[in-house]
Amino acid sequence: MAFDVQAVRAEFPILLRHVHGKPLVYLDSAASAQKPRAVIEAMTRAMEHSYANVHRGLHTLANETTDAYEGARSKIAGFIGADPHEIVFTKGGTEAVNLVASGIGASLQPGDEIVLSEMEHHANIVPWHFLRERKGVVLKWVPVTDDGRLDLEAYQDLLGPKTRLVALSHMSNVLGTINDAKALARMAHEAGALVLFDGCQAIVHKPVDVKDIDADFYVFSGHKLYGPTGIGILYGKAERLAALPPYQGGGEMIATVTRDEITYADPPHRFEAGTPPILEAIGLGAAVDWLAAQDREAIAAHEHRLYARVRDRLAGANWLKVIGEAPGKGAILSFTVDGAHAHDVAQILDRYGVAVRAGTHCAEPLMRRFGVSSSARASFALYNTEDEADAFVDALTKTQAFFA
């Protein structure tokens, strides 16, 4: 059955908007995706009909809200092939990485090594720099090839007896490169290291089975997955979570508190101090339900058709430099225009109703790797159309004329 993009678009109210008198062409989903009615309505329904704090009361509303909150945990676990007790709610993918870094950092010694790559988002760089600054940990960097792939030979050479953790992107937010997570995890484990994957982009565009990958930790955010902001997920193998000390202190994460000592709750609640993002978790559960009901293979094919259409139409544009052309990459186009700053390109495209990202995309080491200070990025999602792909190319061609 053909992918019905118009039926999908009808579920996203914001896509009816006009910007500067032009129909909105939203190509910034890699930064944050729009929300379907299913998510909007689930959160509204929770606020209007059944809201209270979770785990705290025995009254009807508290029980209903707790069931919805923990039900969302179970939905998300099923979505990635995990068990519910292996799912920790955080405020985003960034906090999920920080939680792991804080916990693992407690046991690291000076000279211990963490392997990253040049394509990482700052969220998967800065927390490990904290450990470099505060614990004397050594950061090792996997280089990126000219077409945007990880150099696997270099990766293998970086793994050694001092490697404690490998933290890598499953899919690059700039290049669109999709890394072979299963192979990367196998190589890390053979070296005796744990592995964490930043799945914030990959989870949106392809099915993820954390058990099949054999990830020790896998993190992603809700707002890129057609869910709300303020919610993220840390998956951790049960034994890995059990070995981590608490990240924050407060209510819910304890078993007992006395004047002389405290004992901690078991994971995942050990890592969810205070009132959690209840409505956001419910919204993310609705997003996962909505996306799971779609044909993921058809979505991926649709997104790749849009990317290929744009690339074909821009094939002769000698004023355009594309960053990242790895085989099998996702539908993300990062580029520079000769003689133009990326911010100017994005602002002019906006006048045509086209929304793209511009800047370093929180990936400064990668920008330096490719010799640019910034780039523009068009990212395609399931609700984009061929007409929008054409509108982007037409607007970009007109934009380039300003700088010719």
Domain 5-31+295-401 falls under CATH 3.40.50.2300: no
- Cα separations in angstroms, 172 against 180, 258, 330: 12, 47, 9
Active site residue 362: yes
d(CA 205, CA 379): 11
Would you state the pLDDT for residue 56?
78
- Output the six-digit token pair for 118: 């040049």
What single string gives the DSSP state of each residue in 132-176? HHHH-PEEEEE-B-TTS-B-HHHHHHH--TTEEEEEEESB-TTT-
Would you state the pLDDT for residue 1?
58
Compute the average pLDDT of residues 135-146. Answer: 98
d(CA 3, CA 280): 29
Percentage of the chain beyond pLDDT 90 is: 98
- Cα separations in angstroms, 171 against 4, 159, 175, 295: 26, 21, 8, 20
Would you state the pLDDT for residue 57?
79
Would you state the pLDDT for residue 4?
96
| Interior/surface letters 267-305, b for 16+ CB within 10 angstroms, e for the rest | bbbbbbbeebbbbbbbbbbbbbbbbeeeeeeebbebbbe
Would you state the pLDDT for residue 241?
98
* Exposed/middle/buried for residue 312 (C-beta within 10 Å: 0-12, 13-18, 19+): exposed
Compute the average pLDDT of residues 27-50. Answer: 98
CATH 3.90.1150.10 in the chain: give the residue spans. 5-31+295-401
Please name the residue that has the structure tokens 């001092």: 162
Element (H, E) at 67: helix 60-80
**DSSP secondary structure letter of residue 228:** -
Compute the average pLDDT of residues 256-265. Answer: 96
Please name the residue that has the structure tokens 């405290």: 262
- Determine contact, residues 69/282, Cβ cutoff 8 Å: yes
Model confidence over 347-402: pLDDT tens digits? Answer: 999 999 999 999 999 999 999 999 999 999 999 999 999 999 999 999 999 999 98
d(CA 153, CA 159): 10
Would you state the pLDDT for residue 404?
81
Please name the residue that has the structure tokens 């809201």: 51
Within 8 A by CB and 6+ apart from 131, the residues are: 101, 105, 108, 114, 137
Model confidence over 51-96: pLDDT tens digits? Answer: 999 997 789 999 999 999 999 999 999 999 999 999 999 999 999 9
Would you state the pLDDT for residue 277?
97
CATH 3.40.640.10 in the chain: give the residue spans. 40-292
Compute the average pLDDT of residues 123-130. Answer: 98
Q: Which of 166, 199, 175 is nearest to 96 (CA)?
A: 199
Position 2 pLDDT exceeds 80:
no
- Determine contact, residues 64/56, Cβ cutoff 8 Å: no
* Catalytic residue from among 152, 254, 362, 372: 362
Percentage of the chain beyond pLDDT 70 is: 100
Q: In 10 A of CB 41, how many CB atoms?
A: 13
Q: Which of 92, 134, 115 is nearest to 224 (CA)?
A: 92
* 1 or 10, higher pLDDT: 10
- Cα separations in angstroms, 84 against 184, 206, 232, 268: 25, 21, 15, 8
User: CATH code for 40-292?
Assistant: 3.40.640.10
Would you state the pLDDT for residue 157?
98
DSSP 3-state assignment of 404? coil
